């Protein structure tokens, strides 16, 4: 691939992918960096790595608006399903940048190399998810960029840029775990409306996302154990300090527990029991 020269190391490849405003290039760089890392053809860091930007590269469209300005429509219309797919595409795109940001930003942390294997698997799969959803949007006569999107996900992660444990609490264990809660009912609605193609894509995403939460829970517990901290209490403290907004029930307790995120982590943070 013509961008290979940009991949100076794992951190360099992740940084170049984050910076790219061209989404084919961003997702391509993410996947090629992951593949080369898994083949052990890349060092973790290099003095040639470009500096990590504060914001990811993005195309001119979609326009980014406050979360409340994004309208919700019925899934019984094609327009409503397109709007939903557009919002999922935006989430997946943010997820690509967020997984790569964990790698690039925290490449100097004293953690085992398998930490980076986990996050590059996540980045690879998020790139795959974005491409699948975008292809489905195009089949439906639309494309990513056609409607406005919001910037909440990147903002949520930004406040944890100096603290890896806090980053893991907010990104995989709050934001990605939320995907496990909402995806099964979306799949059911897609089947109900006869959109089996979209339901099948959501199946792939759902199964991969369980793995992403598991990677998050594994390394969150690892960091807590190293500091001799209680993981559930640490999670609650970090979420209160770094995440605005309450956690919304109902939770998919079974899928969350399978991923290693047990109710003792999040129960006391729901909108009813914490203010």
Among 32, 97, 101, 126, binds Fe ion (CB under 5 A): 126
Q: Which is nearer to Fe ion, 45 or 158 (CB)?
A: 158
String of contacts with Fe ion for each residue 200-239, x by CB under 5 A: ---------x--x---------------------------
Q: How far is the CB of 205 from Fe ion (least distance, A)?
A: 5
- 129 counts as binding Fe ion under rule CB under 5 A: yes
- 176 counts as binding Fe ion under rule CB under 5 A: yes
Q: Which is nearer to Fe ion, 8 or 198 (CB)?
A: 198
Candidate ranges 34-42, 168-176, 239-247, 250-258; the one touching Fe ion (CB under 5 A): 168-176
Contact 17/30 with Cβ under 8 angstroms?
Answer: yes
> How close are the terminal C-alpha atoms of the chain, in Å?
51
Contact 96/127 with Cβ under 8 angstroms?
Answer: yes
Q: How far is the CB of 168 from Fe ion (least distance, A)?
A: 13
Cα(235)–Cα(58) distance, rounded to whole angstroms? Answer: 31
Q: Which is nearer to Fe ion, 195 or 209 (CB)?
A: 209
E strand spans, 69-199 = 149-150
Size of the site for Fe ion (CB under 5 A): 7
Burial class (CB in 10 A: 0-12, 13-18, 19+), 160: buried
CB-based closest residue to Fe ion = 212
Q: Measure the CA angle with vertex 14, ends 28 and 137; round to 5°.
A: 40
3-state DSSP assignment of residue 127: helix
Cα(162)–Cα(159) distance, rounded to whole angstroms? Answer: 8
Q: How far is the CB of 234 from Fe ion (least distance, A)?
A: 22
Applying CB under 5 A, the residues found at the interface with Fe ion are: 92, 95, 126, 129, 176, 209, 212
């Amino acid at each position: 691939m013509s961008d290979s020269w940009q991949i100076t190391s794992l951190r360099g490849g992740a940084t170049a992918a984050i910076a790219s405003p061209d989404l084919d290039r961003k997702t391509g760089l993410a996947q090629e960096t992951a593949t080369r890392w898994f083949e052990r053809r890349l060092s973790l860091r290099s003095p040639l790595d470009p500096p990590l930007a504060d914001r990811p590269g993005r195309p001119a469209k979609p326009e980014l608006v406050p979360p409340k300005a994004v309208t919700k429509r019925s899934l019984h219309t094609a327009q409503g399903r397109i709007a939903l797919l557009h919002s999922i595409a935006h989430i997946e795109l943010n997820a690509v940048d967020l997984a790569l940001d964990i790698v690039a930003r925290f490449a100097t942390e004293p953690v085992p190399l398998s930490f980076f294997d986990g996050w590059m698997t996540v980045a690879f799969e998020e790139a795959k998810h974005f491409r699948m959803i975008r292809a489905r949007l195009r089949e439906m006569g639309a494309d990513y960029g056609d409607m406005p999107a919001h910037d909440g996900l990147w903002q949520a992660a930004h406040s944890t840029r100096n603290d890896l444990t806090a980053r893991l609490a907010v990104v995989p264990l709050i934001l990605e775990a939320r995907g496990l809660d909402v995806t099964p009912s979306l799949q059911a609605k897609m089947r109900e409306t006869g959109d089996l193609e979209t339901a099948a894509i959501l199946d792939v995403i759902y199964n991969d996302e369980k793995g992403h939460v598991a990677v998050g829970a594994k390394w969150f517990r690892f960091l807590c154990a190293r500091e001799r901290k209680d993981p559930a209490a640490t999670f609650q403290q970090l979420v209160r300090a770094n995440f605005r907004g309450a956690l919304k029930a109902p939770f998919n307790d079974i899928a969350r527990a399978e991923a290693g995120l047990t109710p003792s982590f999040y129960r006391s943070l729901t909108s009813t029991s914490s203010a």
